[in-house]
Structure 1
Amino acid sequence: MLRSQALIAYQRNNNGSMSVYTSSSVDSYATMQPEGRLKYRVLGMSATFEKDSEMTIFAPVHLTSDMVTIDQVWQEDPLNGRGDGLSMHATSGDHITSFGTLNLVTDSTS
């Protein structure tokens, strides 16, 4: 989603390894978001891809005392034709309603 910061992960087709990184600002619907720093410090990211097509990103975020909520979005993008990067996801259906807010104090979502 535009104006969001992102944790990005995908499995490369050429060797099956995982690529995981942060992107500081989603400014366009370009096919590949550039690597960049997030507003919050992220420590030691990694990702797994399970045989049933579920991906998990592990990204410990350094929380500050004034952080009460985090807005979250999630997307599923196809790989590009070379299998070494992402292509644009659809801009309809679930792709435009995949967002919510996580309250870090009450451990609730909305």
Structure 2
Amino acid sequence: MASFSLSTIYIVLLLSLVSLSPALSSKCNTQKFSHKRVYDNCVDLPKLRANLHWTYINSSVSIAFIAPPASPDGWISWAINPTGKGMEGSQALIAFKDPKLSSMIVQTFNISSDSIQPSKIAFNVSNMSAEKSGKHMKIFATVFLPANMTTINQVWQVGSAVDSNGIPQPHAMSPANLNSVGELNLLGDDSISPAPQPSESSPAPAPIGKKNGGVSMMKMKIGNGFLIVMLIVSSIFLIVI
């Protein structure tokens, strides 16, 4: 009986640990960058399989945004919207492979209309660069914000094509694309307010921004999982005894 109970416990523990494996796979805290770049915070964004890393210092935010484009020749974008919670008005950084040079570039775009053209944006930006690694593209930049602007409306997006003049073509209109917006607390703590309820015409922002967000989410999943394991093991002991 003791041998049977011990074997049962091992099997239950093994199955429980396997069920927890998604919490350990490909989260933002495992991502590494070239040139030894490191950031204070990271979060796994809820849409488009994207990740954001950032460090906020003295009204500037250095970011690394990672996402798989909708096709190998597509584009990725990360933006701040200082006037609203959707795409229109977004001050965007868009990365893609330059069709003429065949190298990765990142440009600024003021998304003020359906006509998308490279343009100056409302914020000063430095250290812009872009990379492609496997199926993912990466944007690096430092954005200079107004003093005391510690919560931002962020918008992220991916698209499938860039024309011969280097203009990103429209993205898909799937629910994931339409809801890739959220509120980010640059200080990385828990002082974020709940997002307002969405109207029919606007997608719901997702409150984001806990310190090392991806790490916190993973710990929460693992903690809950081990609690379940312990409850199962305790139940087995009671049955066997």
- TM (norm. structure 1) is 0.79
Deviation at 1:76, TM superposition (A): 0.8
Superposed CA deviations along residues 12-70 of structure 1, whole A, max 9, x for unmatched, are 3554311211112x13334xx2122222211121011112x211110111234321211
**Could you tell me which residue of structure 2 aligns to residue 42 of structure 1?**
125
Aligned partners of 2:99 and 2:89: how far apart in 1? 29
For residues 4-23 of structure 1, the aligned pairs below 5 Å read: 4-13=90-99, 15-23=101-109
Aligned partners of 2:183 and 2:108: how far apart in 1? 19
For residues 1-110 of structure 1, the aligned pairs below 5 Å read: 1-13=87-99, 15-24=101-110, 26-30=111-115, 33-51=116-134, 53-80=135-162, 82=164, 84-107=166-189, 109=208
Do the aligned partners of 1:21 and 1:35 also contact (CA within 8 Å) in 2? yes
SS of the residue corresponding to residue 138 of structure 2 reads strand
Moved over 6 A (4+): none
User: What runs of 5+ residues in structure 1 fail to find an aligned partner?
Assistant: none
Deviation at 1:90, TM superposition (A): 1.4
How many residue pairs were aligned? 106
Q: How has the CA–CA distance of structure 1 residues 93 and 83 changed in structure 2, closer, same or farther, with 3 Å as cutoff?
A: farther
Deviation at 1:86, TM superposition (A): 1.7
SS of the residue corresponding to residue 76 of structure 1 reads strand
Aligned partners of 1:63 and 1:54: how far apart in 2? 27
Do the aligned partners of 2:117 and 2:167 also contact (CA within 8 Å) in 1? no
User: What runs of 5+ residues in structure 2 fail to find an aligned partner?
Assistant: 1-86, 191-207, 210-241
Do the aligned partners of 1:12 and 1:85 also contact (CA within 8 Å) in 2? no
One-letter code aligned to 1:86: P
Aligned partners of 2:160 and 2:129: how far apart in 1? 20
Deviation at 1:107, TM superposition (A): 4.6
